[in-house]
Amino acid sequence: MSDLHFKTITELAAMLAAGDITSVAITQSVINRTAAVDAQVKAFLSSDPEDALSQAKASDERRVAGKSLGPLDGIPIGIKDTLAVKDQPLRCASKMLENYVSPFDATCITKLREAGVVIWGRLNMDEFAMGSSTENSAYQTTCNPWNLETIPGGSSGGSAAAMAAGEAIATLGTDTGGSIRQPAALCGVVGMKPTYGLISRYGLVAFASSLDQVGPFARTVEDAALLMEAMLSKDPLDSTSIAPQGETNYAAALKEKKGPWKLGIPHEFFGEGINPEVKTNIEKAIDWYKGQGCEIVDISLPHSELAVPVYYIVATAEASSNLARFDGVRYGHRSDEAKDAMTLFTKSRGEGFGDEVKRRIILGTYVLSSGYYDAYYLRAQKVRRRILGDFEKAFEQVDAILTPTSPTPAFKRGERADDPLAMYLSDVYTISVNLAGLPAISIPSGFTESGLPIGLQVIGKAFGEADMFAIANAFEQSHGYYKMMPAL
């Protein structure tokens, strides 16, 4: 039983139902594993083992009383430090929120509690989810469990690394431009971003509201599907929340749907900038689908190369507006040098925010400022519609789109730290999905020669999660990369 922390939710749910193990045993295994490896991985900003064990105990009591809440009851799930959990710190890995404790649960947390989940720890991230390597955390740099010299990706790097290292059975992250899928790919785990609006953003600290989505990290596609089902809700507390549509029994559907599917391959995603090992790996995955009888369709997403500039205009504009709330007045950091209203704002913000957050606030303020609004922000919003149009056209022909998740495997710490543009290009294959509001999942598709994980991205139609999961599940179950664990 020593490796409970590496099992899947479905395996553990079966063992719990059979009475072979308890939630306390699973939770203790995760706690012990975290104690053993987190000094190396540095995925957690904080954790509360006592609180987790008391939730696990309550779960075991429910099960004994015949009142189990389902397959997630008693499963410890790690939480990214940008989602509100009542009475837990909520710092967004920023000095700005160093002493902030959340007075309420995010809706996605409430939904998971209703399913009996054990809420476990606070996971590191890039400050305010701005970054692609988790090096922008104000507290610590998380290491990729597959090679501790490399970054885990970002911004949800703590969530991905904790999964790969066995420090949680699943985790939650958030994805604004690839912040779930890219770290999932780099850490060799499953990471999924839902259709925009499907999971409530209430209790998620806003970065770019028209792009932000909560989503699961898991060992398997089926586990991710179970978590998604549990978090679905039309939430009156989030005006952009949308009622679930179409097939939403994802876990059941992924076993029933067998294809063959029509899969689109956008040639723009295989050109300049892609690492040759990644390219070969993804082409092999495409060949596998072809061998299963899927029709492979060459498609074009002609505006793809504009997704990065559109994103860094739209996202920074929204961020500069969203982060105006951090003013040193009602919560968060206040400068000791605040002498009047102006210095209260400027000094508190100058001291509280890190470099990347400042960079994006300045950029976002600039593209919204008088004289530049039309040239940047308005033009970016128009090109955004062109990007959506590309996808709409492609989905007239295909059921889903296959691409690499990231152009490169995990890179060395510090390698892109002083080159923001190079860092921004880490998200070149994930960003357009957020701009178009589509669902997408990254699944492990193999390793480089040096042993770093590679991820395959499956992009679905809006509300086409059921098909997307089924397509991803077919590859995963035939290849079994999820059974590979890093040596720590």
Partner 1 sequence: MSETPHIDIDYVANLARLDMTEEEKSKLGSQLDDILGYFDKLNSVDVEGVEPMAHAHRVANVWREGDQTGETYAPEILTGMAPDHRDNQVVVPKVVE
- Near partner 1 in 1-40, by CB under 8 A: none
Q: Any catalytic annotation for residue 80?
A: yes
Q: Is 351 in the site for partner 1 (CB under 8 A)?
A: yes
Q: Is 431 in the site for partner 1 (CB under 8 A)?
A: no
Residue of 7, 80, 111, 347 marked active site: 80
> Scanning residues 448 to 487, which ones bind partner 1 (CB under 8 A)?
462
- In angstroms, give the least distance from the CB of 79 to partner 1: 20
> In DSSP terms, which residues pair with 266 in a beta bridge?
299
Residues 6 or more apart whose Cβ sits within 8 Å of residue 373? 367
| Residues 292 and 474 sit within 8 Å (Cβ to Cβ) | yes
The two tokens of residue 422 are: 């190079």
| Residue 171 burial (C-beta neighbours within 10 Å; 0-12, 13-18, 19+) | buried
Give the span between the Cα atoms of 80 and 281, in whole angstroms: 30
Q: How many C-beta neighbours within 10 Å does residue 248 have?
A: 16
Q: How are the residues of the chain apportioned to helix, strand and coil, as percentages rounded to the nearest 5?
A: 45, 15, 40
Q: Is 355 in the site for partner 1 (CB under 8 A)?
A: yes
Q: Is 240 in the site for partner 1 (CB under 8 A)?
A: yes
> Scanning residues 356 to 395, which ones bind partner 1 (CB under 8 A)?
358-359, 361-363, 365-366, 369, 372, 375-376, 378-386, 388
Give the span between the Cα atoms of 71 and 227, in whole angstroms: 10
Give the span between the Cα atoms of 427 and 177, in whole angstroms: 7
- In angstroms, give the least distance from the CB of 255 to partner 1: 29
- In angstroms, give the least distance from the CB of 461 to partner 1: 13
CA proximity to 317, closest of 175, 209, 427, 212: 209
Q: Is 239 in the site for partner 1 (CB under 8 A)?
A: yes
| Residues 386 and 309 sit within 8 Å (Cβ to Cβ) | no
CA angle 392, 320, 314 (to 5 degrees): 15
Residue of 23, 59, 156, 179 marked active site: 179
Query: How large is the angle between the packed helices 23-41 and 9-17, nearest 10 degrees?
Result: 150
Q: How many C-beta neighbours within 10 Å does residue 451 have?
A: 13
> Scanning residues 161 to 200, which ones bind partner 1 (CB under 8 A)?
196-197
Q: Work out which of 141, 210, 275, 292 binds partner 1, going by CB under 8 A.
A: 210
Q: Work out which of 53, 69, 296, 344 binds partner 1, going by CB under 8 A.
A: 344
Options 5-13, 71-79, 100-108, 476-484: segment touching partner 1 (CB under 8 A) = 100-108
The two tokens of residue 407 are: 């152009």
Nearer Cβ to partner 1 (126/167): 126
- In angstroms, give the least distance from the CB of 420 to partner 1: 5
Q: Any catalytic annotation for residue 179?
A: yes
> In DSSP terms, which residues pair with 83 in a beta bridge?
204
Give the span between the Cα atoms of 150 and 157, in whole angstroms: 11
The two tokens of residue 138 are: 């104000």
Q: Is 114 in the site for partner 1 (CB under 8 A)?
A: no
111 to 202, 229, 439, 485: CA distances (angstroms)? 12, 10, 20, 30
Nearer Cβ to partner 1 (116/194): 194
Nearer Cβ to partner 1 (200/473): 200
Residue 469 identity (one-letter amino acid):
F
Rg (CA), the chain: 21
Q: Is 349 in the site for partner 1 (CB under 8 A)?
A: yes
Q: Is 271 in the site for partner 1 (CB under 8 A)?
A: no
Q: Any catalytic annotation for residue 382?
A: no
Q: Is 44 in the site for partner 1 (CB under 8 A)?
A: no
Nearer Cβ to partner 1 (53/306): 306
CA proximity to 191, closest of 166, 210, 170, 207: 170
Give the span between the Cα atoms of 432 and 57, in whole angstroms: 43
Options 147-155, 157-165, 347-355, 407-415: segment touching partner 1 (CB under 8 A) = 347-355
- In angstroms, give the least distance from the CB of 369 to partner 1: 6
- In angstroms, give the least distance from the CB of 339 to partner 1: 6
Q: Is 353 in the site for partner 1 (CB under 8 A)?
A: yes
Number of residues that bind partner 1 (CB under 8 A): 72
Give the span between the Cα atoms of 60 and 118, in whole angstroms: 11
> Scanning residues 403 to 422, which ones bind partner 1 (CB under 8 A)?
420-421
Binding mask 284-303 toward partner 1 (x if CB under 8 A, else -) reads -------------------x
Residue of 155, 156, 304, 432 marked active site: 155
Nearer Cβ to partner 1 (154/332): 332
Nearer Cβ to partner 1 (33/461): 461
Binding mask 300-339 toward partner 1 (x if CB under 8 A, else -) reads ---x-xx-xxx-xx------x---x--xxxxxxxx---xx
- In angstroms, give the least distance from the CB of 185 to partner 1: 23
| Residue-level length of the chain | 488
Q: Is 206 in the site for partner 1 (CB under 8 A)?
A: no
Residue 232 identity (one-letter amino acid):
L
* Dihedral angle computed from the Cα positions of residues 44, 216, 138 and 131, in that order, rounded to the nearest 10 degrees: 140
Nearer Cβ to partner 1 (132/445): 132
Nearer Cβ to partner 1 (269/481): 269
CA angle 457, 461, 467 (to 5 degrees): 75
Q: Which residues are catalytic?
A: 80, 155, 179
